Amino acid sequence: MKRAIWFCAAAVCLAAFPAAASWLADVEVGAVFSGYNDVRVPNEGGTEISLSRDLATDPGFFYRFRLWYRFNDRHAVSVFAAPLRLEASGSVGKEVRFEDAIFPANVPLSATYRFDSYRATYRYNLVRREKLTLGLGFTAKVRDAAIEVRSGDTAAETSNTGFVPLVNFGLQWRPGGPWTFVVDGDALGASQGRAEDVFLGAEYRISKWASVKAGYRIIEGGADVPQVYNFTMLHFLAVGPVFEF
């Protein structure tokens, strides 16, 4: 409920801007693959395990949606939603302490990694030319994350919902014809952790109002705090439509 209220409030804020502008809806779907996913809960006293090496993480399906509102030529704001869930299974050749549960060595384990992301972004186009657009801004991100480990009747979960400020950037290069090449992302690092979400790809315009995009996305980052140690790298193969109106 809190996430729905936050997202609706952000959408209302977008609608408050002047009407002399344009909208862009960006839908992205595809396959996600786990690079590394190392976790220790609690950070002191827990057992560090890898959900991608000690266990095997199945490739997953992902989808995400962003709505941009562009006005006065150089300004843009957006709201964004990206739920994500991955499943892992296997066994670990050592006793695993996770949260308040203890799993004996070599027992079958299954794990669920959930990382839902909701963001509101403002971007200012520093460069706005016929063939090149370069923008820089900031993103307010709300993450709703959880990791659950299970074996038989024993299960333990750690979860966290929090706010993360990020730097937003975007570059579009239009060499001519229907093609546009895109680099787009959010990123920031601090002593407690880091976060990067970067897309590299291309868009092919099929009409005045619609394009099709495809490319590679990487998400990397995590936190090293008293409650949890978790660093993850995910690889995405992404496609989807882009509508302008």
Q: Domains in the chain, please, with CATH? A: 2-244 (2.40.128.90)
Summarize the confidence of residues 123-144 as an average pLDDT: 97
Q: What is the pLDDT of residue 21?
A: 82
pLDDT one-digit tens code per residue, 24-33:
999 999 999 9
Q: What is the pLDDT of residue 11?
A: 47
Residue 211 pLDDT level (bands cut at 50, 70, 90): very high
pLDDT above 90 covers a percentage of the chain that reads 90
| Polymer length of the chain | 245
Contact assessment for residue 48 and residue 39, using Cβ atoms and an 8 Å cutoff: yes
> CA-to-CA distance for 124 and 115, rounded, in angstroms?
28
Cβ atoms within 10 Å of 73's Cβ, excluding its own: 9
**Least confident stretch, 16-20, 135-139, 165-169:** 16-20
> Residue 67 pLDDT > 60, yes or no?
yes
Q: Where are the beta strands (DSSP E) in the chain?
A: 21-40, 49-50, 55-57, 60-71, 75-82, 85-90, 96-98, 101-103, 109-128, 132-151, 154-176, 179-190, 193-205, 210-224, 229-244
Summarize the confidence of residues 38-63 as an average pLDDT: 97
What are the structure tokens assigned to 169, written together? Answer: 């950037």
Average pLDDT taken over every residue of the chain: 93
| Dihedrals phi, psi of 200, to nearest 5 degrees | -130, 120
**Least confident stretch, 18-27, 70-79, 204-213:** 18-27
Q: What is the pLDDT of residue 192?
A: 86
Q: What is the pLDDT of residue 198?
A: 98
pLDDT one-digit tens code per residue, 127-137:
999 999 999 99
Summarize the confidence of residues 46-50 as an average pLDDT: 97
Instruction: Report the SS3 class of residue 197.
Output: strand
Q: What is the pLDDT of residue 73?
A: 86
> CA-to-CA distance for 176 and 199, rounded, in angstroms?
21
> CA-to-CA distance for 118 and 199, rounded, in angstroms?
17
Residue 191 pLDDT level (bands cut at 50, 70, 90): confident
pLDDT one-digit tens code per residue, 1-11:
445 444 444 44
> Residue 230 pLDDT > 80, yes or no?
yes
Summarize the confidence of residues 142-162 as an average pLDDT: 96
Cβ atoms within 10 Å of 135's Cβ, excluding its own: 21
- Whether residue 42 is preceded by a cis peptide bond, meaning omega within 30 degrees of 0, is yes
> Residue 142 pLDDT > 80, yes or no?
yes
User: Could you write out the DSSP letters of every residue in 75-94?
Assistant: EEEEEEEE--EEEEEE--SS
Residue 20 pLDDT level (bands cut at 50, 70, 90): low
